[in-house]
Amino acid sequence: MAVHLTRIYTRTGDDGTTGLSDFSRVAKTDVRVAAYADCDEANAVIGTALALGGDVPDDIAEVLQIVQNDLFDAGADLATPVVADPEYPPLRVEQDYIDALETWCDGFGEGLPNLDSFILPGGSPLSALLHHARTVTRRAERSAWAAVEADPERTSVLPARYLNRLSDLLFILSRVANRPPHGDGDVKWVPGGERRRPPASRTSRGAGGSAAEQRR
């Protein structure tokens, strides 16, 4: 599908509204707009992971590039209210998008050690960025479900389901990105009672006074 953009600014949104794919106009704060905007943000974070994540393994890079295209499709779906018998069938997320995510989840998850703790974002740059993408994707999913709740007759549930599964895949890929030789394994959460804290004398006062004083 070719897209031709002659200029970026239009001034039509200066009144706080934006156009949907069916040419209707809604507030820029509309839940549907929030949903596809969050998809765009998730896509940007994945792009950052590919650009700044270091030596991204080819198999992960290939999947993430497919996902980036899928997220554009999801945004287009959310931006297009469902109508019966449209004159021109719009781009929609299909079940096979979700099936592909599940296949990748199974493939990349094979061989990972079983979890015995929650995992902290971090480790290798790629893993940390994929965790960031995962959390933005979770927000996009919540926004997509909010759009479904607000307009259930005209909003497909498949983008929300896709985003749900995508966050699972990104979690798995973040773990893969911390496996040797790319990282040192999962960064595990240590519950409060098990953490060793530095002596109070090292943290309560410094050159600038106590932590409480510094917050005044």
At residue 18 the predicted structure's pLDDT band, cuts being 50, 70 and 90, is low
Measured between alpha carbons, how far is residue 2 from residues 5, 23, 24, 47 in Å?
Answer: 10, 18, 22, 22
At residue 215 the predicted structure's pLDDT band, cuts being 50, 70 and 90, is very low
pLDDT computed for residue 3 by the predictor: 61
Q: Which residue has the higher pLDDT, 6 or 55?
A: 55
* Cβ neighbours, 10 Å, residue 88: 4
Q: Region 105-128: what's the mean pLDDT?
A: 95
Q: Which residue has the higher pLDDT, 49 or 16?
A: 49
Query: Among positive and negative, which fits the CA dihedral 110, 142, 53, 56?
Result: positive
Please say whether the beta carbons of 167 and 137 come within 8 A. Answer: yes
pLDDT computed for residue 29 by the predictor: 65
pLDDT computed for residue 20 by the predictor: 61
At residue 214 the predicted structure's pLDDT band, cuts being 50, 70 and 90, is very low
pLDDT computed for residue 22 by the predictor: 66
pLDDT computed for residue 1 by the predictor: 55
Q: Region 126-148: what's the mean pLDDT?
A: 98
Please say whether the beta carbons of 71 and 43 come within 8 A. Answer: yes
Asked whether residue 203 carries a pLDDT value surpassing 60, the answer given is: no
Q: Region 29-49: what's the mean pLDDT?
A: 93
Domain boundaries, the chain: 17-177
pLDDT computed for residue 216 by the predictor: 46
Q: CA 71, CA 42: separation in Å to the nearest integer? A: 8
Query: Among positive and negative, which fits the CA dihedral 99, 103, 109, 115?
Result: positive
- Is the backbone of residue 209 left (phi > 0), alpha (psi -120 to 50) or beta? left
Measured between alpha carbons, how far is residue 62 from residues 8, 66, 123, 177 in Å?
Answer: 29, 6, 22, 14
Minimum mean pLDDT range among 102-106, 180-184, 191-195, 212-216: 212-216
Q: For the CA atoms of 121, 122, 125, 128, what is the dihedral angle to 10 degrees?
A: 0
pLDDT tens digits for range 144-188: 999 999 999 999 999 999 999 999 999 999 999 999 888 889 999
Cis (ω within 30 of 0) for the bond into 181? yes
pLDDT computed for residue 211 by the predictor: 45
Asked whether residue 212 carries a pLDDT value surpassing 50, the answer given is: no
Please say whether the beta carbons of 208 and 214 come within 8 A. Answer: yes
CATH number 1.20.1200.10 given to 17-177: yes
Q: CA 20, CA 23: separation in Å to the nearest integer? A: 5
Please list the alpha-helical segments (H only) found in the chain. Answer: 31-52, 58-78, 95-109, 125-150, 158-176, 200-203, 211-215
Average pLDDT along the chain: 86
Asked whether residue 19 carries a pLDDT value surpassing 80, the answer given is: no
Q: Which residue has the higher pLDDT, 205 or 64?
A: 64
